[in-house]
Structure 1
Amino acid sequence: MAVHGGGGKSGGSKVPGGKGAGPKGGAGKSLVRATLSIHQPPTGFSTTPGALISPLEFQFNPSQLSLTRSAQWKTTPTAAVRSAAVPEFLGPEPRSLNVEIFLDGTDKPGSNRVLKDVELLFSCCEVTSASIAAKQPSTPWVVFRWGSFSTVSFTAYVSSVDATYTLFSTTGVPMRATCQVHLQEIPSKTAGQNPTSGALTAQRVHRVVAGDSLQSLAWREYGDATAWRAIAEANGIDDPTVLPPGVELLLPAAEEAGR
């Protein structure tokens, strides 16, 4: 299944100094940018990602997303039967998502932004210190999101990252890279499509703006201001009065927030 979208790295977005160079040639201010939020893995039996480690906002929206879903069956050959045995259904497999991330640092020649973003993606395949301390070793959980009202939202772990550097500065610093990222879905207890938003999962990511509070977000999202505690717990927030603009918050599914 392929989900196609606009705002990719077409046109002159790869040409340094061209009309399409820089952020204006990518996702653009008028388009909703895809994001990959990297979180600590949860503790206990929770299926909600832990505290936010770092967000990665795409400079260029992907031109397409490749989604895969499969089911597992088992066939047992039987020598005494002429025709093939009836296969046994074992269950559905989690969905997988392949996405290409294009990184471009030519607008800031002296910056090592591309290298840092690639290392951030690679870190998604490494066990976090917090999970080791909690005696539940795990790589980070990630939430891929693209589109308002959770048009595409996908909670997963990163199974592989393949980075190709395509341009270097005169000092050997990578200035461009193309990363193929493979995400494997982590189904939640409330997994399923949100019938009102068309989301792949019922969880959403919200970018904090001036005037936001946990109580107002809880009221807007769940119709219950007291559900702010679920948002705080999902994002590892100790002080609910400190909510800096620009921070991305994971909003749990309504069923989890209501527990």
Structure 2
Amino acid sequence: MSPSPVTFGAASPGPAGGGRPKLERAYLELRHPPGDGGTSAPGPHLSRIDFQFNPKELSLSKQARWERKTARGARTAGPAEFKGPEPSKLSLEMFFDATATHGDGVVVAVEALFSCCVPTAQTHNRRQGTPPFVVFHWGGLTGFVGFISQVQAKYTLFTAGGLPIRAVCQVTLEELSGSQPGQNPSSGALAARRVHRVVAGDTLALLAWQEYGDPAAWRVIAEANGIDDPMRLRPGTALLLPGPEEPRDHG
């Protein structure tokens, strides 16, 4: 049984006919690791962790690894040799507050984040031991696909009985090894993408035609979602649709 979404309440829709726009709530989508135990495209949807409040800032980092060989007694530094790029990292802050209810929502949310650093039950049973893969979503910004490498939680308020009801969490996501399908490795791993919920009659070719005007671009969608059999789409499945510029990158 998949774990339930961790949420503190959905965003309120805006008034009909215009007015204030609908608030887009950020969330982390947890996905099953690939069945082969590798770091290819993430598997099906597992669960999600909602932001109670949208992040005030996002921090992206990218490093290049260089190495210098030194000689004993040399008066100058040796030439630098490029060894390759380090993975992109996305750091963000998640704030949880349950002072209005004095419930255990804060504890549940923090435990859900910590669970992203341990193997899923399915991979543990298969003795592969892989934590869930994570996709960061915020409106049309859904391009960072990776895993959570670090979680730091600081409880700042408690009930009289000692139950934490407020917490600030620092979360670091690290991109998967290699360039993921539909991802420009120099873009910082954030791109405008969209999530489509499969309905009866959907096919990858139809979605590619509707999204990009090219039914042959179905392979991009298949790769981005780790789909081996494009003829078997289950209604209700959430598909990650790469940005419109990405099919050209795969042409």
Q: TM-score, normalised by structure 1?
A: 0.69
Q: Secondary structure at the match of 1:144?
A: strand
Report what 1:10 is aligned to: none
Give the match's secondary structure for 1:78.
coil
Which runs of structure 2 are paired with 1:10-49 in the superposition (5 Å)? 30-44=22-36, 45=38, 47-49=40-42
Task: Give the 3 Å change call, closer, same or farther, for CA 192–239 of structure 1 in structure 2.
Answer: closer
Determine the structure 1 residue equivalent to 2:3.
none
Q: Counterparts of 1:172 and 1:63 in 2: how far apart (Å)? A: 29
**Partner residue in 2 for 1:52:** 45
1:171/1:213 Cα in 2 relative to 1: closer, same or farther (>3 Å)? Answer: farther
Residue 69 to residue 202, structure 1, CA distance change in 2 (3 Å): same
Q: Is the Cα–Cα contact under 8 Å of residues 39 and 50 in structure 1 kept in the other structure?
A: yes
Matches within 5 A, 1:228-239: 230=222, 234=226
Q: Conserved in 2, the CA contact under 8 Å of 1:51 and 1:236?
A: no
Q: 1 CA distance for matches of 2:29 and 2:210?
A: 22
Residue 232 of structure 1 deviates from its aligned partner by 11
Pair 1:119 & 2:111 matched? yes
| Counterparts in 2 of 1:73 and 1:194: CA distance versus 1, 3 Å | closer
Q: Which residue in 2 is equivalent to 1:208?
A: 197
- Further displaced range: 72-81 or 117-126: 72-81
**Among residues 75, 79, 92, which one is paired with 2:72 in the alignment?**
79
- What is the alpha-carbon distance in structure 1 between the residues aligned to residue 127 and residue 201 of structure 2? 35
**2:118 match: secondary structure:** coil
CA RMSD of aligned residues (A): 3.9
Residue in structure 1 matched with residue 154 of structure 2 by the alignment: 164
Partner residue in 1 for 2:96: 103
TM-score by length of 2: 0.71
CA 1:58 to 1:240, structure 2 compared with 1: closer, same or farther past 3 Å?
A: same
The code of the aligned residue for 2:41 comes to: T
Residue 133 of structure 2 is aligned to residue 144 of structure 1: no
Q: Distance in 1 between matches of 2:96 and 2:144?
A: 21
- Check the 8 A contact 1:205/1:248 in 2, yes or no: no
The offset of 1:209, in angstroms, is 8.9
Work out whether residues 235 and 249 of structure 1, in 8 Å CA contact, stay in contact via their aligned partners in 2: no
SS of the residue 2:136 aligns to: strand
Instruction: List per-residue Cα deviations over 1:211-252 (Å, max 9, x = no partner).
Output: 994555444345439949938964899974532xxx754346
* 2:144 and 2:191 in contact (8 A); partners too: no
Determine the C-alpha separation between the residues in 1 that align with 2:135 and 2:116.
Answer: 12
| 2: CA distance, partners of 1:190 / 1:34 | 23
The total of aligned residue pairs comes to 226
Looking at structure 2, the residues matched to 184 and 132 of structure 1 have their Cα atoms a distance apart, in angstroms, of 21
Distance 1:100 1:167 in 2: 17
Question: Which structure 2 residue ranges, 5 or more long, are not aligned?
Answer: 1-8, 13-19
1:188 to 150, 161, 179: 179
Q: Unaligned stretches of 5+ in structure 1?
A: 1-21
Deviation at 1:205, TM superposition (A): 5.1
> d(CA) in 1 for partners of 2:191 and 2:227?
16
Shift of 1:97: 1.2
In structure 1, C-alpha distance between the alignment counterparts of 2:232 and 2:179, rounded to whole Å: 27
How far is the alpha carbon of 1:203 from its aligned partner? 8.4
